[in-house]
Amino acid sequence: MVSSSAGYGSSTFSIWRWLTVDVSLERRIEILEEKMEQLRDVPVRLSAVESQIVQLRAEMQTGFSALRGQNDETRGEMVRLNGETRGEMVRLNGETRGEMVRLNDETRRELVRLNDETRREMTRLNDETNAHLRVLHEEVISRIALLQEGHPTAFRKNERKRKRR
């Protein structure tokens, strides 16, 4: 590709097409010399581009190596933090288990205490009920005995006493 700075077009095809038009041989040679002059700078410019590519490649390689190093450091830090986290989790799990065992034991002791207290209260109430039932039983027995003896008035007297209570 030829530069369009000479005003003759932008492609090789347009140069050849222009050269075929009626132009003097001297002018054609001048144009070719100008184009060749422009092409002489190409190796220097190409060399500069090549050195820039080499430099870019070296910089990228250095950058990637640095990134790999940082990646390795980050990975190591993650492994370390993971180990710390696992250790903390194991410690907390142990503490939680211990707390659960302690609370379970406390709950059992409280249940046993409440069960014993309820049992004592039930026994006391049962004894009171039994005593009251004995009194009622004795009263019924004595009324039946009075009825069998033929004293209906005794039954009525006890009934009045009961109403007063």
User: Residue 3: is its pLDDT beyond 80?
Assistant: no
Given the structure tokens 């492994």, which residue do they identify? 79
Q: How confident is the model at residue 2 (pLDDT cuts 50, 70, 90)?
A: very low
Q: What is the mean pLDDT of residues 126-140?
A: 96
Q: Within a 10 A sphere around the Cβ of 34, how many other Cβ atoms?
A: 15
pLDDT tens for each residue of 16-59 = 565 556 678 888 888 888 888 888 888 888 888 999 999 999 99
pLDDT tens for each residue of 82-126 = 999 999 999 999 999 999 999 999 999 999 999 999 999 999 999
Secondary structure (H, E, C), 100-146:
HHHHHHHHHHHHHHHHHHHHHHHHHHHHHHHHHHHHHHHHHHHHHHH
Question: What is the SS3 assignment for 11?
Answer: coil
Who contacts 35 (Cβ-Cβ below 8 Å, separation ≥6)?
2, 6, 15
